[in-house]
Amino acid sequence: MLALSGICYVNLKWSASYNLDLKFNFRIFNTFQKRARLSCSLKNRTLSLVHKKSIKNSSENKSLMTVSTRQKISRATKGKKKNNKTKKKISNSLKGRVFPKKHRNNLKKKSKGENNSMFGKKHSKMTKRKISHSLIKKKKENVLSKLIHI
């Protein structure tokens, strides 16, 4: 550990897995020290209101990607299968999000009446039986889990 300016502590320990010559390691270590010092010196600085406004305005006016770039990326990734790890990450990132009330109302309107995908349709007897069995199974599991936790 290296104490810089009394407040900021930076871990400068390198793993022994690097099998490089000492001069090269020292150069990396030296630049790492400089970066650490710079990082610590910039941590406690305060920005003026003018500077903050200019940062805010620059980020608002610029989009991260142009439309054509987004289209190229979209075309390149279409049809590719995602692995389970990626699917899990996407799933976790989308959980817990809350839509604005206006958007929720629009979604409700879209699925009411004739716009509903089940409008005018009925479940078959087989489907009703499957739904019934799955609900019964869930209730049994729920009761068992409560008994175990008591």
Annotated domain spans of the chain: 2-60
Query: Per-residue pLDDT tens for 66-85?
Result: 888 889 989 999 999 999 99
Please give the Cα distance from 48 to 52 (Å, whole number).
6
Q: Supply the mean pLDDT for the chain.
A: 78
* 18 pLDDT more than 50: no
Lowest mean pLDDT among 15-24, 37-46, 69-78, 133-142: 15-24
Give pLDDT, residue 104: 94
Higher pLDDT, 13 or 55: 55
Query: Per-residue pLDDT tens for 112-140?
Result: 999 998 999 999 999 999 999 999 998 88
Higher pLDDT, 30 or 83: 83
Residue 8, classed as helix, strand or coil, is strand
Give pLDDT, residue 130: 95
Whether the model clears a pTM of 0.75, i.e. scores above it, the answer is no
Residue 29, classed as helix, strand or coil, is helix
> Is 36 within 8 Å of 10 (Cβ atoms)?
yes
Burial classification of residue 8, based on how many CB atoms lie within 10 Å of its CB (0-12 exposed, 13-18 middle, 19 or more buried)? middle
Q: How many Å separate Cα 103 from the centre of its chain? A: 22
Give pLDDT, residue 29: 52
CA-CA-CA-CA torsion sign (52, 56, 59, 62): negative
Give pLDDT, residue 85: 95
